[in-house]
Structure 1
Amino acid sequence: MKNYAILIFSLLLLSAGAMQAHTLADKGSITGKVIEEVGALPIPSAVVAVYELNAERPFQTTATDENGVFKFNALKYGTYKVKVSFVGFASLTINEVILTEKDFERNLGTLKLGSDQNNLSEVTITAEKPVIEFAADKITYNVDKSILAEGSTATDILKNVPMVQVDIDGNATISGKRSTRIFIDGKPSDYMTSNIADLLNVLPSDAIEKIEVMTNPPARYSGDGEGVINIVMKKGFAIGFNGNAGITAGLQGNTNMNTNASYRSKNYSLTGGAAYRSNIGKSTSHSYRENFDLLKDTTFYYDNYASNRSNSNGGNFRAGLDWDISSQQNLRVTSNFNTNNSSSRAGTDFNFLNEDFALKRVRNQISTADGSSHNFVFNADYSIKGTESGDKLSIGLTYNTNNNDNLRIQDQKYSLPVTGKPSLRENTNGTGNDGLTFNIDYDRPVFKKRDQLEAGLMYNYRRNNNDQLVRDFDFVTQQYVISEKLSNEFRYNERIFAGYTSYNYRGKSIGVKAGVRAELTDVDFDLSTGSNYNVKPYLSLFPNISINHFFKKRYNIGATYSVRINRPREIALNPQINDNDTLNISYGNPGLVPAYTHQMDISFGAFGEQWSFTPRLSYSTSSGVIERYRAVTVTDGVAKSETSYYNVGANDIFGLILIGNYRPNKKLSTNANLTLTQSNYRSSLNSALNRKGLSIRSALGLSMQLPLKTAFEANVNYANNVNAQGRAKGSVTSSLAARKVFFKNRLNARISVSDPFGRRNNSLFSEGVNFRLQSYSTSNTSNVTLSLSYRFTKIKKVPPPPKPN
Structure 2
Amino acid sequence: MFTETFTVTSPAAEGGKLVGKVVESPANTAVSFATVALLAARDSSITDGVVTDENGAFTMANVAAGSYLLRITNMGYQTLFVPNIRVSPEANLIDLGSITLIPEAQKLAEVVVRGEKSMIVDDIDKKIVNIGKDMLATSNNVSDLLEKVPAVSLDENGNPQVRGKGNVVVLIDGKPSNLYGSDLPTILQSFPANLIERIDVMTTPSAKYEGEGASGVIDIITKKTKIRGTNGGLRLGLGNKNNHNVSGNLSYRAGKFGLNASLSGQSRGMTWKRTLSRDNFLSEASSHLEQSGTGANKGNNAFGRIGMNYDFNEKNSLEVGMNYSQNNNRNNSNLLNETSNTSGAVVETFRRLNNSKGNGNNMNFNVDYRKKFDKKDHQFNFTTSYSLGESDGESYYVQESEIDSLMRNQQNLRNNNRNSLFVNADYTWPITSKATIETGFRTRMSSNDNTNSFYNKNLETGAYVFDENISNIFGYKDATYTGFMTFSQKTDDWGMRVGLRVTDYNQEINQISAARKFDVHFLTLVPSLALTRKLSDASQLKLNYSRRVQRPEADWLNPFTDLSDPRNIQSGNPNLRPEFTHKAEMGYSNYEEAGGFGPSLFMDYSNNAITRIRTLDESGISLTRYDNVGRELSYGFETDFSKKIGDILKINGSGRVFRSEVVSQVAQIDNRTWSYSGNLNAFITLPADFRASAYVNYEGPRAIAQGTREGVFIANMGIRKDLLEKKATISFNVQDIFLSRAYKSQLMTETYSQSSLWQQTNRQVNLTFQYRFGKISASGDDA
TM-score computed with the length of structure 1 as normaliser:
0.85
The one-letter code sitting in structure 1 at the alignment partner of 2:72 is F
RMSD: 3.0
CA distance in 1, matches of 2:102, 2:506: 53
Aligned mate of 2:410, from 425, 436, 454:
425
CA distance in 2, matches of 1:705, 1:268: 40
1:766 touches 1:773 (CA, 8 Å); kept in 2?
yes
Equivalence map 1:43-82=2 (5 Å): 63-65=59-61, 72-74=72-74, 76-77=77-78, 80-82=81-83
Offset of residue 207 of structure 1: 1.2
Specify the SS of the correspondent of 1:433.
strand
Offset of residue 175 of structure 1: 1.4
Offset of residue 520 of structure 1: 0.3
Equivalence map 1:106-121=2 (5 Å): none
CA distance in 1, matches of 2:474, 2:494: 51
For 2:421, the equivalent position in structure 1 comes to 436
For 1:555, the equivalent position in structure 2 comes to 539
The one-letter code sitting in structure 2 at the alignment partner of 1:495 is A
2:81 touches 2:115 (CA, 8 Å); kept in 1?
no
2:42 touches 2:537 (CA, 8 Å); kept in 1?
no
For 1:185, the equivalent position in structure 2 comes to 173
CA distance in 2, matches of 1:482, 1:392: 58
Offset of residue 700 of structure 1: 1.2
CA distance in 1, matches of 2:32, 2:49: 27
Cα distance, 1:596–1:342 mapped onto 2, change above 3 Å: same
Does residue 336 (structure 1) correspond to residue 311 (structure 2)? The answer is no
Does residue 649 (structure 1) correspond to residue 630 (structure 2)? The answer is yes
CA distance in 2, matches of 1:320, 1:41: 22
2:152 touches 2:164 (CA, 8 Å); kept in 1?
no
The one-letter code sitting in structure 2 at the alignment partner of 1:379 is N
CA distance in 1, matches of 2:102, 2:575: 60
Specify the SS of the correspondent of 2:563.
strand
Specify the SS of the correspondent of 2:630.
strand
Does residue 171 (structure 1) correspond to residue 156 (structure 2)? The answer is no
2:713 touches 2:740 (CA, 8 Å); kept in 1?
no
Aligned mate of 1:480, from 464, 468, 475:
464
Cα distance, 1:534–1:200 mapped onto 2, change above 3 Å: same
The alignment-based identity, stated in percent, is 24
1:203 touches 1:316 (CA, 8 Å); kept in 2?
yes
Does residue 284 (structure 1) correspond to residue 273 (structure 2)? The answer is yes
Does residue 586 (structure 1) correspond to residue 570 (structure 2)? The answer is yes
CA distance in 2, matches of 1:27, 1:703: 39
For 1:88, the equivalent position in structure 2 comes to 89
For 2:733, the equivalent position in structure 1 comes to 752
Does residue 782 (structure 1) correspond to residue 763 (structure 2)? The answer is yes
1:324 touches 1:331 (CA, 8 Å); kept in 2?
yes
Aligned mate of 1:143, from 120, 131, 139:
131
CA distance in 1, matches of 2:514, 2:372: 52
Does residue 660 (structure 1) correspond to residue 656 (structure 2)? The answer is no
Specify the SS of the correspondent of 2:225.
coil
For 2:673, the equivalent position in structure 1 comes to 693
The one-letter code sitting in structure 1 at the alignment partner of 2:425 is I
Cα distance, 1:558–1:87 mapped onto 2, change above 3 Å: same
The one-letter code sitting in structure 2 at the alignment partner of 1:378 is F
1:760 touches 1:782 (CA, 8 Å); kept in 2?
no
Does residue 223 (structure 1) correspond to residue 217 (structure 2)? The answer is no
Which string of whole-angstrom CA distances, capped at 9 and with x for unpartnered residues, describes residues 632-653 of structure 1? 111xxx2110111100101221
Specify the SS of the correspondent of 2:209.
coil
Which string of whole-angstrom CA distances, capped at 9 and with x for unpartnered residues, describes residues 581-639 of structure 1? 122111011111111111111011134563312111111211110000000111xxx21
Aligned mate of 2:610, from 626, 631, 640:
626
The one-letter code sitting in structure 2 at the alignment partner of 1:425 is Q
Does residue 399 (structure 1) correspond to residue 379 (structure 2)? The answer is no
Does residue 248 (structure 1) correspond to residue 237 (structure 2)? The answer is yes
Aligned mate of 1:313, from 300, 304, 311:
300
Does residue 605 (structure 1) correspond to residue 589 (structure 2)? The answer is yes
Specify the SS of the correspondent of 2:194.
helix
CA distance in 2, matches of 1:157, 1:562: 26
Specify the SS of the correspondent of 1:200.
helix
For 1:741, the equivalent position in structure 2 comes to 722
CA distance in 1, matches of 2:271, 2:550: 34
For 1:352, the equivalent position in structure 2 comes to 339
Instruction: Name whichever of 659-668 and 514-523 sits farther off.
Output: 659-668
Specify the SS of the correspondent of 2:555.
helix
Equivalence map 1:696-707=2 (5 Å): 696-707=676-687
CA distance in 2, matches of 1:794, 1:769: 64
The one-letter code sitting in structure 2 at the alignment partner of 1:681 is V
The one-letter code sitting in structure 1 at the alignment partner of 2:192 is P
Which string of whole-angstrom CA distances, capped at 9 and with x for unpartnered residues, describes residues 8-43 of structure 1? xxxxxxxxxxxxxxxxxx9997754456999x9968
1:575 touches 1:590 (CA, 8 Å); kept in 2?
yes
The one-letter code sitting in structure 2 at the alignment partner of 1:407 is E
For 1:324, the equivalent position in structure 2 comes to 311
For 2:483, the equivalent position in structure 1 comes to 499
The one-letter code sitting in structure 2 at the alignment partner of 1:365 is R
For 2:110, the equivalent position in structure 1 comes to none
For 1:710, the equivalent position in structure 2 comes to 690
CA distance in 1, matches of 2:236, 2:755: 40
CA distance in 1, matches of 2:269, 2:398: 23
For 1:257, the equivalent position in structure 2 comes to 246
1:192 touches 1:435 (CA, 8 Å); kept in 2?
no
Cα distance, 1:530–1:777 mapped onto 2, change above 3 Å: closer
Offset of residue 177 of structure 1: 4.0
CA distance in 2, matches of 1:136, 1:781: 41
Specify the SS of the correspondent of 1:571.
helix
Offset of residue 781 of structure 1: 4.4
For 1:771, the equivalent position in structure 2 comes to 752
Specify the SS of the correspondent of 2:186.
helix
Which string of whole-angstrom CA distances, capped at 9 and with x for unpartnered residues, describes residues 334-357 of structure 1? 211110001111111001111122
1:628 touches 1:646 (CA, 8 Å); kept in 2?
yes
2:409 touches 2:456 (CA, 8 Å); kept in 1?
yes
CA distance in 1, matches of 2:41, 2:477: 44
For 1:8, the equivalent position in structure 2 comes to none
Offset of residue 529 of structure 1: 2.5
TM-score computed with the length of structure 2 as normaliser:
0.87
Length, aligned pairs only: 723
1:667 touches 1:706 (CA, 8 Å); kept in 2?
yes
CA distance in 1, matches of 2:527, 2:181: 28
CA distance in 1, matches of 2:208, 2:408: 53
CA distance in 1, matches of 2:588, 2:122: 11
For 1:385, the equivalent position in structure 2 comes to 372
CA distance in 1, matches of 2:686, 2:718: 13
Which string of whole-angstrom CA distances, capped at 9 and with x for unpartnered residues, describes residues 77-133 of structure 1? 377542322232899x9xxx999979x9xxxxxxxxxxxxxxxxxxxx982124444
Unaligned runs of at least 5 residues, structure 1: 1-25, 49-59, 105-124, 796-805
Specify the SS of the correspondent of 1:201.
helix
CA distance in 1, matches of 2:292, 2:225: 50
Specify the SS of the correspondent of 1:405.
strand
The one-letter code sitting in structure 2 at the alignment partner of 1:713 is S
CA distance in 1, matches of 2:389, 2:161: 23
CA distance in 2, matches of 1:768, 1:362: 25
Cα distance, 1:156–1:132 mapped onto 2, change above 3 Å: same
Equivalence map 1:554-573=2 (5 Å): 554-573=538-557
Aligned mate of 1:677, from 658, 667, 670:
658
The one-letter code sitting in structure 1 at the alignment partner of 2:427 is Y
For 2:19, the equivalent position in structure 1 comes to none
Instruction: Name whichever of 281-290 and 420-429 sits farther off.
Output: 420-429
CA distance in 2, matches of 1:353, 1:197: 38
Offset of residue 705 of structure 1: 2.6
